[in-house]
Amino acid sequence: MKRIISASILAFLGLFLFHGASAVAGSDTMKRAVVYHLDSADLDHEKATLRNINNHINSPSGPTTQIELVIHGGGINLLTAAKKDEQLQASIDGLKMNGVKIKVCNNTLKSKKLDYKTDLYDVHGEDIVPSGVAYLADKQFEGWAYIHP
């Protein structure tokens, strides 16, 4: 009886160790996904957030990381200021050229009476999400890492 129990325990541990090793091996090739959250109306903070994302892109894990920036509330200031600021435009363009998707909260657009076509820099219909905070939560439920610089 002891031998049967011992054999069962060893078989279970073997399966557990094999499954754990394959999960770790698979994690090296797993696509990483990070969502950045911007809700501050402070332009210096907004620029720092863009630098954080750029630093992330240039990190060792950057090439294998899918990155999105979700903007709502006061953070919309970044895209209104960029309409007239070529340096901000270049920063935003650089992120987008590196695959970063920028998502904009429709609730914020409505509350601030902004039209994404005329009032924001380089925002298109597919960039608009119904609720920025709900979108952030959804991404976290999907397993995305969350960063709020």
> For position 2, what pLDDT does the model report?
55
Under a CB-based contact definition with an 8 Å cutoff, are residues 44 and 85 in contact?
no
Question: Who wins on pLDDT, 30 or 57?
Answer: 57
Same domain, 62 and 37: yes
User: Which string of b and e fits 84-98 if b means at least 16 CB within 10 Å?
Assistant: ebeebeebbeebeee
How large a percentage of the chain has pLDDT more than 90?
79
Beta bridge partners of 35: 68, 146
Identify the weakest region by mean pLDDT among 7-21, 22-36, 39-53, 120-134.
7-21
Same domain, 72 and 142: yes
Nearest alpha-carbon partner for 61 in 37, 35, 34: 34
Is a pLDDT exceeding 80 seen at residue 6? no
How do residues 58-114 score in pLDDT, each as one tens digit? 999 999 999 999 999 999 999 999 999 999 999 999 999 999 999 999 999 999 999
> For position 11, what pLDDT does the model report?
46
Confidence tier at 31 by pLDDT (50, 70, 90): confident
Domain count, the chain: 2
Is a pLDDT exceeding 50 seen at residue 134? yes
Interval 126-134 mean pLDDT: 98
Q: What is the CATH number of the domain that holds 99?
A: 3.40.1260.10
> For position 22, what pLDDT does the model report?
38
Same domain, 73 and 5: no
User: Which string of b and e fits 5-31 if b means at least 16 CB within 10 Å?
Assistant: eeeeeeeeeeeeeeeeeeeeeeeeeee
122: region left, alpha or beta (phi > 0 left; psi from -120 to 50 alpha): left
Same domain, 139 and 105: yes
Domain, as residue range, for 106: 31-147
